[in-house]
């Protein structure tokens, strides 16, 4: 267990001194006001100083009370031991504090008694008079300690949860890349082979270059759980360029994402899997190919992204898609990053076709 840093200890003692000085000042001022109220003409300086300094033992004992409250919290299962420890500590501190106060009153006689009372009588009278105040002071120190520590524990747990969520999101991203890369590479290389056989060397070279740029970008951003929408669209465009070489005129894609949304934060690899599913289930299965539309809009603090394809609604295929690794992974990542503020919906369109709608908070860099 590491010791607290010196600056932490200094700050703690500063707060303790400030709080007890405020309490002692209030108590001393109250004593002087009572003296004036009853018409006493005696000097107020000695009573003020004695009352003020009388609280010194409690100030010095505060760190001990705080440490005891942390080591012996009053919780179920250890209630008896904790209560015994706190009662013993309270008894010792109260006894010492009032012995100190009684000594000050006997030595300095601040109220100018012609025959000062004995130490024992002063101590007993002062202790019985202040016992309720001491109970409140001890309980207040313990309660503040519990509240502060509980808040720190909550903040620590939130930080740890955020860290674990980020790691889980990265793991989900890695799983998505692992699911995407094999069949994407297989299809792309097969397309390159077909282009070479057809002696379309320029197209083959272009496809290889596009694949190289796509994989380079994927490698560079592999550690980032979120990117800007502009970066995600650029990444998607590289993927589309490769697929256009493969499908030719059968694949028609339109992007309608306003430039003012470019700085919005979105999960890395958000759009590419959605377009990939649209190609797989909407374009590749039809000889005539099909159309894919990607759109984005911002409304009332939310970002809404839509991927539409004009293929038919085939329940078996689309249910498999919605529960598959790609969209299932993406749903989990959205839940980790934004909780119930995000949503992913796969649905048929009344005019024909299928769309995936992703809704998430509009957050900018």
Confidence check: pLDDT of 355 > 50: yes
Model pTM score: 0.53
Q: Which two tokens stand for residue 240?
A: 């589309």
pLDDT in tens, 182-206: 566 677 777 778 778 877 777 778 7
pLDDT at 2: 44
Tokens (6 digits) for 155: 């903040």
Distance between the two ends of the chain, CA-based, in angstroms?
39
Given a contact cutoff of 8 angstroms between Cβ atoms, the answer to whether 314 and 337 are in contact is no
Instruction: Taking residues 66-73, report their average pLDDT.
Output: 89
* Over residues 151-164, mean pLDDT: 78
Q: What is the pLDDT of residue 173?
A: 55
Q: What pLDDT, on a 0 to 100 scale, did the predictor assign at position 296?
A: 95
Q: What percent of the chain has pLDDT over 90?
A: 22
Which residue, chain included where needed, has tokens 């919906």? 345
Q: How far apart are alpha carbons 175 and 159 in whole angstroms? A: 24
Q: Give me the phi and psi of 91, to 5 degrees please.
A: -65, -45
The two tokens of residue 236 are 């998607």
DSSP E strand boundaries for 138-262: 226-228, 251-256
pLDDT over 90 (residue 330):
no
The string of pLDDT tens digits covering residues 79-123 is: 888 889 999 999 999 999 989 988 988 888 777 777 777 888 888
Q: Mean pLDDT score of the chain, rounded to an integer?
A: 81
**pLDDT exceeds 70 at position 320:** no
For strands 251-256 and 290-299, give the pairing: parallel
Pairing state between β 251-256 and 265-267: unpaired
In this predicted structure, the answer to whether residue 259 has a pLDDT above a threshold of 60 is yes
Give the whole-angstrom CA distance, residue 177 versus residue 217. 12
User: CA 46 to CA 108: how far, in whole Å?
Assistant: 8
265 phi and psi angles, rounded to 5 deg: -85, 130
Q: Could you tell me how many residues make up the chain?
A: 365
Q: Which of 54-58, 134-138, 314-318 has the lowest mean pLDDT?
A: 314-318
Point out the least confidently predicted range of 19-28, 171-180, 242-251, 282-291.
171-180
Q: What is the DSSP string of 84-141?
A: HHHHHHHHHHHHHHHHHHHHHHHHH-TT--SSPPPHHHHHHHHHHHHHHHHHHHHHHH
**pLDDT at residue 1 in the model:** 42
> Which pLDDT belongs to residue 335?
82
The rounded distance, in Å, linking the Cα atoms of 213 and 236 is 12
Question: Which two tokens mark 203?
Answer: 């197209």
- What single DSSP character describes residue 225? S
What's the pLDDT at 115? 74
- pLDDT exceeds cutoff 50 at 178: yes
- Stretch 216-230: mean pLDDT, rounded? 75
Q: How many angstroms separate the Cα of 202 from the Cα of each of 186, 242, 255?
A: 20, 13, 26
Q: Give the Cα separation of 2 and 153 in Å (integer).
A: 17
More confident residue, 304 or 25: 304
């Amino acid at each position: 267990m590491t010791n607290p840093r010196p600056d932490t200890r200094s700050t703690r003692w500063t707060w303790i001194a400030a709080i007890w000085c405020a309490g002692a000042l209030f108590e001393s001022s109250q004593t002087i006001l009572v003296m004036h109220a009853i018409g006493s003409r005696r000097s107020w300086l000695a009573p003020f100083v004695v009352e003020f300094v009388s609280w010194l033992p409690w100030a010095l004992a505060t760190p001990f009370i705080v440490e005891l409250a942390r080591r012996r919290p009053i919780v179920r299962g250890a209630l008896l031991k904790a209560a015994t420890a706190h009662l013993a500590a309270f008894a010792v501190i109260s006894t010492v504090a009032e012995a100190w106060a009684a000594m000050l009153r006997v030595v300095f006689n601040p109220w100018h008694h012609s025959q000062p009372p004995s130490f024992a009588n002063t101590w007993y009278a002062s202790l019985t008079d202040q016992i309720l105040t001491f109970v409140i002071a001890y309980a207040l120190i313990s309660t503040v300690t519990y509240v502060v520590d509980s808040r720190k524990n909550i903040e620590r747990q939130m930080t740890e949860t955020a860290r674990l969520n980020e790691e889980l999101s990265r793991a989900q991203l890695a799983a998505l890349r692992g699911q995407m890369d094999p069949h994407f590479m297989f299809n792309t290389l097969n397309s390159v082979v077909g282009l070479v056989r057809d002696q379309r060397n320029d197209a083959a070279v272009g496809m290889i270059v596009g694949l190289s740029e796509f994989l380079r970008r994927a490698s560079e951003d592999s550690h980032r759980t979120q990117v800007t929408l502009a970066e995600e669209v650029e990444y998607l465009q590289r993927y589309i360029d490769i697929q256009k070489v493969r499908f030719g005129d059968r694949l028609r894609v339109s992007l309608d994402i306003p430039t003012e949304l470019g700085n919005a934060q979105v999960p890395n690899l958000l759009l590419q899997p959605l377009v990939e599913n649209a190609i797989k289930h909407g374009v590749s299965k039809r000889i005539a190919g099909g159309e894919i539309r990607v759109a984005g809009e911002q409304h009332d603090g939310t970002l809404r992204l839509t991927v539409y394809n004009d293929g038919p609604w085939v329940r078996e295929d689309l249910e498999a898609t919605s529960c598959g690794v790609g969209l299932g992974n993406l749903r989990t990542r959205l839940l980790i990053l934004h909780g119930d503020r995000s949503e992913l919906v796969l649905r048929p369109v009344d005019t024909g076709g299928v769309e995936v709608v992703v809704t998430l908070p509009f957050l900018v860099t």
